[in-house]
Structure 1
Amino acid sequence: MSARQWSLRVAGEYLQRDASTMSRYENGEYPLRRADLVALMTLYDVADPKQRADLEQICEDAWQRDWWDNHKDDFGKDFIDVPWLESRASHLRAYQHFLVYGLFQTRDYASAVINELKFGHESAEQVA
């Protein structure tokens, strides 16, 4: 059987971990320990040194505590993923399906959007 076809149960047996722990690892609910990562890279025949180093760096970063760790109870467990990912991002992409992104708006387009929203607080001079 190829390593890519191995089940969560087989990988868990290899690490001597139960299925619930493996599921938490797989779902990102709990960070993987370095020794388990090294064992899994061996199991799955990850031989490329750069790929191994990159995975080890991700594993190390997952254990790092940052400012948002003190606020996870305020926002829920899903909040943690966003700042963690953003802090490691190398590019920023924005998608707005209702409006053209601000930097790409023409004066006429922006005026039309403001006038359509009709907040009632804007004078013609402010819109222009």
Structure 2
Amino acid sequence: MTQEQVARALEWSPSKLIRIEGGKNAITRTDLQALLATYDMTSESRQEKLQALARGARERAWWNDYRGEINDATLAFVGYAAGASYIRHFHGSVIPGLVQTREYAEVMSTGIVSPTRQAFTVKLRMQRQEELAKRQNRPRQHYILDEAAIRRHVGIKVDPVIMPNQLNHIADLAERDDLITVRIIPFSAGAHLGIYGPFTVLEFDGDLGDALYMEGRPGTTVMVTGDDESISEYRTHFESLLDVALSADKSVELIRQAADDLMA
């Protein structure tokens, strides 16, 4: 059916249907039921699943509590990542937020923003971890880090054990959680595509397209969705980085060794 045919059958304006289909307007239970009847969707289980999705879409997202304190590009990324089925992330100098300890997160945000903004930044990172852990179908998380990210003694001026504890934490996650993989690109690999900056590729269930987040300082982060060619390019970049990274087991060994070296 064309949009004009559907709108005519429901006695709606075409613009109303276009706004609903484009995600510009939330859909009411009554309107969704009318659409399902028009499309001859008679399966009760399918109808209930779609109604549940509609209810969820109308609920206030938990990350909206941070609006005004965290920039919009970051919150857009948080929202996308909250529903992703697969998270691929590369960083050349910092441990990823979803596997950071609170102490590491506090040190990493010190001096970059005001004390008030710092508290919100750390709280957001910790809540992201909590919310993903509560999901019924948790996402697969695949991280690639440059060796520099595990060698810098972050927090040494505050507490020398912050970084060793962080490294052992990420190693523990990689060993006990089948959904988390951590790979390290050793210094011996030389230059690689990751030196141009950190990035995250998000994959979703169903027919939803991937999304790309290119991280930078506040105001320079970029969220890319839709059919943008850079999304597939960065997926290819991620695979090429895997080619020069250590195996998962060797990576954990190196992380443990780096933690021991920082404690020596």
TM-score (norm. length: structure 2): 0.33
Alpha-carbon offset, residue 19 of structure 1: 2.0
User: Relative to structure 1, is the Cα distance of residues 69 and 104 closer, same or farther in structure 2, using a 3 angstrom cutoff?
Assistant: closer
Answer yes or no: is 1:53 the counterpart of 2:48. Answer: yes
- The residue number in structure 1 matching 2:72 is 74
Q: Which structure has greater strand proportion? A: 2
Q: Identify the match of residue 114 of structure 1 among 187, 200, 218.
A: 187
Could you tell me how far apart the structure 1 residues matched to 2:13 and 2:75 are?
23
Alpha-carbon offset, residue 95 of structure 1: 5.7
- The residue number in structure 2 matching 1:92 is 139
User: Relative to structure 1, is the Cα distance of residues 97 and 45 closer, same or farther in structure 2, using a 3 angstrom cutoff?
Assistant: farther
Larger radius of gyration between Structure 1 and Structure 2:
1
The answer to whether the 8 A contact 1:15-1:36 is kept is no
Answer yes or no: is 1:26 the counterpart of 2:21. Answer: yes
Identity %: 19
- Measured on the aligned residues, the alpha-carbon RMSD in Å equals 3.9
Could you tell me how far apart the structure 2 residues matched to 1:34 and 1:53 are?
10
Q: Structure 2: 5+ residue runs without aligned partners?
A: 85-131, 147-173, 175-179, 196-256
- More relative contact order in 1 or in 2 (CA 8 Å, sep 6+)? 2
Could you tell me how far apart the structure 2 residues matched to 1:7 and 1:18 are?
13
Q: Which structure has greater helix proportion? A: 1
Moved more, 59-68 or 81-90: 81-90
TM-score (norm. length: structure 1): 0.61
